[in-house]
Chains A and B, each alone.
Chain A
Amino acid sequence: MTASLRFRAAIVSIALFVAFLGIWHIATRGAAPVASMNPEYAKLMGLTATQGKSAMPGPLDVGAKLWEHLKRPFYDNGPNDKGLGIQLGYSIARVGLGYFLAVIVAIPLGFLIGMSPLINRALDPFIQILKPISPLAWMPLALYTIKDSGLSAIFVIFICSVWPMLLNTAFGVAAVRKEWINVARTLEVGTLRRAFTVILPAAAPTILTGMRISIGIAWLVIVAAEMLVGGTGIGYFVWNEWNNLSITNVIIAILLIGIVGMLLDQILARFTRMVTFPE
């Protein structure tokens, strides 16, 4: 029964995709060629102006271009033109570093907040104010103080991924069932041991949910940050191709950003499943 459900769902998915491609193709076919244009003049103009070609590329254009990119993902034509594989690599490395730093800061701090009501109350106003700030709003300040655009981008990733992890860790730690802690206390387990053997496993699913939210946000932000900072990364690629008004390449980049984002999310989803326990 489940197999047939999955099968039917796949058919619906494919049908939707084909319909989407079909509509896309028809919508971007373009108008008839513009008649009566001086050939001398036409030679100086683009296809949009001369042949009424739609400014939006069709699925065939995108497919052909995508194939071109996939054939050589790692070329390097100098500092401003690198293959998509290299660009994605830069972005993932940046996200990874900023995210890793956020994990190092957020989880211990979250533990502290969750275990101590005093710290919780004391830090609460700061967290409440800092949390809703758009990560990109930090960019000018980061550029000004850190004085290095690469580090600024990493800082922005750090600052945006730290909050969900911090709050989820604090919440997870505070919500550990009192009975378990009381049992640990009865058995005279030390604070440190209690934190690692009782609280950590109990709060792990909540913590990992926070980490999963964070990686999604970090991946959202990196594209915008790289568009601002430039140089390398998939965000820079989008900006560079926009500069050339090459919508085809922008669509390809959007597609890849989506796929990589999904993969990152799936990896953390798998970790979450590993630490989940039945009560």
Chain B
Amino acid sequence: MSTFDDPFDADRALSRSGCVCGQHRSAGEHDQAALALRCEPVPTETEQQRYEGVVASAVMRAMFPRDAARRAFLKSVGASTALAAISQFFPIKTATEVFAEAGAPEKKDLKVGFIPITCATPIIMASPLGFYAKQGLNVEVVKTAGWAVVRDKTINKEYDAAHMLAPMPIAISLGLGAQAIPFAVPAIENINGQGITLAMKHKDKRDPKDWKGMKFAIPFDYSMHNYLLRYYLAEHGLDPDTDVQLRSVPPPEMVANLRADNIDGFLAPDNICQRAIYDGVGFMHILSKEIWDGHPCCSFAASREFITGSPNSFAALTRAILDATAYASKAENRKQIAEAIAPANYINAPVTVLEQVLTGTYADGLGGVKTDAKRVDFDPFPWQSFAVWMLTQMKRWGQIKGDVDYKAVAEQVYLATDTRKTMTEMGLAPPASSYKSFAVMGKTFDPAKPEDYLNSFKIRKAS
């Protein structure tokens, strides 16, 4: 399901799921099996090469817009011959230079706020690994105390852009819990990467039906964590408003509260879950991936004012984030990233903890070692259907009262169209549609019928 593929690859799958040969569940598994058979080292593509390929890819796609035709052409002549042939009549070198020079940023010194959790990986790592510098930006990434402070500092224009929970820009744009200021999301930071952690004393209470009366912490009211935990509890027959207590607790305080027995568990961002395990305070009940595989969590957000005021800076920033996200999406880079973001200047956590989160080989807190390479993943495309789903949940739990124009809000806040254009320019392969259907705990969500979806839930806040 990667968004990042290569148009010069004749073996590229035409559909976006499964692998080319059909024998493996994903393209990644196919590649691994193929390499194992051939005994070849895993190819490492340098960033330089990818940049050189950007323009060539664009030309190639323009000449052969149909995947099947391109594939036939590549099969018959080979990728390098094809590239040489194109270079004959199209000045790829010159075009690359022109492409690189376009749109100098209006403002080079930017401030980007973040919360120290692994969801912010692309935003943080772009600084030590030089992704901002590559776009000609001098970005200072500033650690911030909590979600409300990130929101206020971004609204105050102290930060030019910031790491926000995916529903926050929607809430800010709608004026929920703050004054209404139009915000926009050019990129999703991470997908998956959260978990439900319970205190050790609940080791034998693994069935949510037994959780009546327990106290849970969530990072913020307008968070995927809140919606996912409520969804999970409601699917198991508990009303999250009356049967349990949900508390908004800043992530750093969660582990301390769990240790002090103030809460029974939390649905929290990683590294917090893994940190509770690392300190022997809690265990991993389930990964958020088991509720909804591929759910968005955090986003990269900026105000509309910044976007219209400094469009080139914003575009450069978006490119840096997309670039960093692409880098983070590759499993082989994850160890290096864990080391880069662990110091006190960034996340400030033990490297082992970050490595367990990012590589997906982790201690579950009950004595076992589990492996799930997709525990956290990075896919920047801001699907507008994500926004529609969040709006349905905001309405379901009474955060939005009255009618809401799902599509209009989603399209205004989640900049799928612009991001698609930027990704294409960068030689990444964005999906063609901005809406997709997905399943949350086995229940399919159709972005075209949000109201029906909302009405299908029995447990919801009476409005």
Contacts and interface: CB of A to CB of B under 8 A. Distances in A.
Interface of A: 37-38, 40-41, 43-46, 48-49, 55, 77-81, 140, 143-144, 147-149, 227-231, 236, 239-245
A212 to B, nearest CB: 30
B362 A44 contact: yes
13 contacts: A44-B356, A45-B278, A77-B345, A80-B142, A81-B343, A81-B344, A81-B348, A143-B156, A144-B152, A149-B153, A236-B145, A240-B348, A241-B348
B144 A230 contact: yes
A229 B348 contact: no
B360 to A, nearest CB: 12
A79 B344 contact: no
Interface of B: 116, 140-145, 149, 152-153, 156-158, 252-253, 255-256, 259, 275, 277-280, 343-346, 348-350, 352, 356, 361-363, 367-369
A79 B152 contact: no
A78 to B, nearest CB: 4
Given A143-B156, A243-B116, A244-B349, A227 B280 contact: no
A77 B252 CA distance: 22
B369 A244 contact: no
Nearest to A228: B145
Nearest to A236: B145
A48 B256 CA distance: 14
Contact of B252 (A144, A229, A243): A243
A81 B345 contact: yes
A81 B344 CA distance: 6
Contacts of A48: 279-280
B140 A79 contact: yes
A-B pairs with lowest CB-CB distance, top 8: A49-B280, A81-B345, A44-B363, A243-B252, A147-B156, A81-B344, A230-B145, A46-B278
Contacts of B149: 143, 149, 228-230
B349 A80 contact: no
Contacts of B367: 37-38, 41
Contacts of A77: 343-345
A44 B362 CA distance: 7
Contacts of B368: 41
B348 A243 contact: yes
A242 B278 CA distance: 16
A143 B116 CA distance: 22
Contacts of B140: 78-79
B314 to A, nearest CB: 21
A242 B367 CA distance: 27
Contact of A79 (B142, B145, B350, B363): B142
A80 B275 CA distance: 21
Nearest to B143: A80
Contacts of A147: 156-158
Contacts of A79: 140-143, 345
A240 B142 CA distance: 12
A45 B363 contact: yes
A163 B414 CA distance: 48
Nearest to A40: B369
A231 B145 CA distance: 9
A220 B314 CA distance: 40
Contact of B145 (A41, A55, A227): A227
B187 to A, nearest CB: 22
B136 to A, nearest CB: 20
Contacts of B348: 80-81, 240-241, 243-244
Nearest to B252: A243
